[in-house]
Amino acid sequence: MAERLLDSINSPADLKKLSTDKLPILAQEIREVIIKTVASSGGHLASSLGAVELIIGLHYCLNTPEDIIIWDVGHQAYAHKILTGRKDRFDTLRKQGGLSGFPNKYESEYDVFTTGHGSTSISTALGIASARDLENKNYKVVAVIGDASLGGGMALEALNHAGHLHKNMLVILNDNEMSISKSVGALSKYLNRIITAPVYNKIRKDVEGLLSRVPRFGFSVIRSARRLEEGLKNLLVPGMLFEELGFRYFGPIDGNDVVMVTNTLKNIIELNKPILLHVLTKKGKGYSFAEKGPEKFHGVASFNVDTGEKVAIAKDIVPEEGFTKAFGNKIIEIAREDKKIVAITAAMPEGTGLDKFADLFPDRFFDAGMAEQHAVGFAAGLGKAGFKPVVAIYSTFLQRSYDQIFHDVCLQNLNVIFMLDRAGLVGEDGPTHHGAFDMSYIRNLPNIVSIAPRDEEELKNMLSWAVSYDKGPVAIRYPRGASYASAPGSKNSLPINYGKGEILKEGRDVTMVSIGYMSNIALEAASFLLKDRIDAEVINARFIKPIDIELIAKSVLKTGRLFTIEEGALSGGFGSGVLELIIDKIKKDTIIKNIALPDKFIEHGDRQALLDKYGLSSKKITEAVKKEWQK
Ligand SMILES: Cc1ncc(C[n+]2csc(CCOP(=O)(O)OP(=O)(O)O)c2C)c(N)n1
């Protein structure tokens, strides 16, 4: 096989040895590596393919890692990993012990900041640029942010502050007109107007030509280019938003033309001021299936490169996203009857299962954009005005909205329902995406009820119950990828009743109190324990708040041993809540153990393997109970 250019590149210094005319070939080689790897490991394909030329251009023109790049979300940075000494380990992407799917400061000095959540990069970059100036240093700072992430409150707050501080920094707006699905919002319309303004575009092309032809242009050229562009934009670009915010705006340029990107970067990088470079990229670039269906290829599981089809999962593995679909179907059923139901997502209609609802009830569906804080405040307004808002946001992203949950929903005691998908370990996306903390951050707020279903049937019943409950907010949490349509024994379940748990299996030796899907795992553990003649009572707590402490205490008084089991952080979580309330209701010599996620950020890897590692598989739970039993 002919030697690839990529074979000789082990660092950005090697990249700089290439002449610019070689860069398109390198981009193609990097794409091939990304497609091949993601087809096997799964990951964020479409965004990473779109950003290849931009990443080559940045490492070609900057002096990394002294010059600093902050990636927003970080899901687009695969080419950055490949160019910064990690190409030989790239096949370990997202695997346990392997490379992270996101920038990770513990993985490489080139990953300055560990990221995974959106809209953070401009704030971080501005902070670093300010520190640099305080120390009279002169490295460069660049934030790379997507058009959807730019709509998040934090990014807009940062732009506002940056224009005021007037720091030397470069913000690259990587605009592919897509979030996971189509970008929404007035800002996205504004960007689209910049791109499509016909007269502006024509003259912009002349400016672009000027920028790319002159290898390193002098101040007089900058001045005339600027004057030309300025006059043009004053005439044609409504608002000149970025300029008004204090940034020099350049672009839009074709972000998939690596020579254009490189030449433009070379020219603007030395301008000592806040600059915003608007690059247009194609999400999924270079892989036809991803170009045609960027939503489907935003985050993918393993797929067949030739057909673009998902690799079939073995029959014995429960279908992914069972809870998500169950929610999506049930909310439609309820909304047909109840015209006050409205549904809200923060840029994730498919991921949360609301896409069908959006098609059926376009007037009652709201995509607030990648703006979780606003989504919750907005829901509060709808709730205040008499509607029943159902806000579906992943557990980890709802962290953003903590103050809105507190101030706009709980304090007003509004009937807002939160659907917290991906509550628990998500697997390969790792620490930024695990939903480990929601029980802790919701349980401590007054007025809100927090519940978790053990199977899809129970999720549907809980949703119906939450809609009928009219005394305040309700949060329903459920994990990723693991679900039973109807778990063993669930057909005989009791109806959902405020603050009441249920006994799934009676027993006399130990009490296992579990929440949500973990109740199925606890039942499995109980069946293993029976083989050792340990007769466990298993309680499905159903309510994280208010906890059915009477039911639990009665059982513990009988068995003398209490095990709480939850897929969430130990600190402040469900088990912690049980202890707060049970302490004066049980005997002093009761054996107590909380089985939960430890007080650390859990790494990425296979979900089942991680659950086992952290003691939450039926095998590990059985071992933990036996250990206490033998004491
Ligand atoms: C706070 C937050 N909300 C939601 C997400 C989930 N998410 C990851 S990428 C993405 C879309 C990003 O779109 P954009 O910024 O335009 O980048 P692109 O993928 O198009 O390159 C979303 C919604 C997230 N990572 N962080």
Mean pLDDT of 443-455: 97
Mean pLDDT of 351-371: 97
Q: For this structure, is 283 an active site residue?
A: yes
Over residues 472-512, the pLDDT tens digits come to: 999 999 999 767 888 887 777 889 999 999 999 999 999 99
Ligand 1: centre distance to CA 370 (Å): 7
Q: In the chain, where are the structural domains located?
A: 27-292, 322-477, 499-630
How far apart are the C-alpha atoms of 325 and 337, rounded to whole Å? 19
Question: Is the distance from CB of 603 to CB of 471 less than 8 angstroms?
Answer: no
- Predicted confidence (pLDDT) at residue 318 exceeds the cutoff of 50: no
Q: For this structure, is 400 an active site residue?
A: yes
Identify the CATH number of the domain defined by range 322-477.
3.40.50.970
At residue 416 the predicted structure's pLDDT band, cuts being 50, 70 and 90, is: very high
Specify the residue with its C-alpha closest to ligand 1, atom 19.
47
Q: Coil, strand or helix: which one is 592?
A: strand
- Predicted confidence (pLDDT) at residue 384 exceeds the cutoff of 90: yes
More confident residue, 617 or 183: 617
The minimum-distance atom of ligand 1 relative to the CA of 433 is 25
Specify the residue with its C-alpha closest to ligand 1, atom 11.
179
Q: Coil, strand or helix: which one is 596?
A: strand
Integer-rounded Cα Rg, in Å, for the chain is 27
How far apart are the C-alpha atoms of 43 and 175, rounded to whole Å? 20
Over residues 58-104, the pLDDT tens digits come to: 999 999 999 999 999 999 999 999 999 999 999 999 999 999 999 99
Tokens at 37, concatenated: 């790897």
42-56, 206-220, 267-281, range with the lowest pLDDT: 206-220
Identify the active-site residue in 266, 283, 545, 607: 283
Ligand 1: centre distance to CA 150 (Å): 10
- Predicted confidence (pLDDT) at residue 228 exceeds the cutoff of 70: no
Residues with CB under 6 A from ligand 1: 47, 73, 75-76, 116-118, 146-149, 174, 176, 178-180, 283, 347-348, 370, 372, 397, 400
How far apart are the C-alpha atoms of 32 and 30, rounded to whole Å? 5
Identify the CATH number of the domain defined by range 27-292.
3.40.50.970
Ligand 1: centre distance to CA 41 (Å): 20
Q: Coil, strand or helix: which one is 343?
A: strand
Domains 27-292 and 499-630 are alike in CATH topology: yes
Q: Name residues whose C-beta falls within 8 Å of residue 491's C-beta, 6 or more positions apart in sequence.
A: 457
How far apart are the C-alpha atoms of 562 and 592, rounded to whole Å? 5
Which CATH class name applies to 499-630? alpha beta
Give the per-residue pLDDT at 315. 43
The minimum-distance atom of ligand 1 relative to the CA of 180 is 11
Q: For this structure, is 372 an active site residue?
A: yes
At residue 313 the predicted structure's pLDDT band, cuts being 50, 70 and 90, is: low
- Give the helix/strand (H/E) hosting 250: strand 248-254
Return the best residue to mutate from 370, 373, 402, 429 for the ligand 1 pocket (most ligand atoms within 8 A of CB). Answer: 370
- Predicted confidence (pLDDT) at residue 360 exceeds the cutoff of 50: yes
Ligand 1: centre distance to CA 290 (Å): 16
Mean pLDDT of 416-433: 98
Question: Is the distance from CB of 26 to CB of 6 less than 8 angstroms?
Answer: yes
How far apart are the C-alpha atoms of 160 and 386, rounded to whole Å? 35
Give the per-residue pLDDT at 212. 56
Ligand 1: centre distance to CA 613 (Å): 29
| pLDDT-above-90 percentage for the chain | 82
- Predicted confidence (pLDDT) at residue 224 exceeds the cutoff of 60: yes
Mean pLDDT of 298-312: 90
How far apart are the C-alpha atoms of 76 and 102, rounded to whole Å? 8
**Residue 180 per-residue DSSP state:** S
C-alpha distance from residue 59 to each of 248, 270, 462 (Å): 22, 15, 51
Specify the residue with its C-alpha closest to ligand 1, atom 13.
179
Ligand 1: centre distance to CA 500 (Å): 38
Cβ-based neighbour number of residue 378 at 10 Å? 20
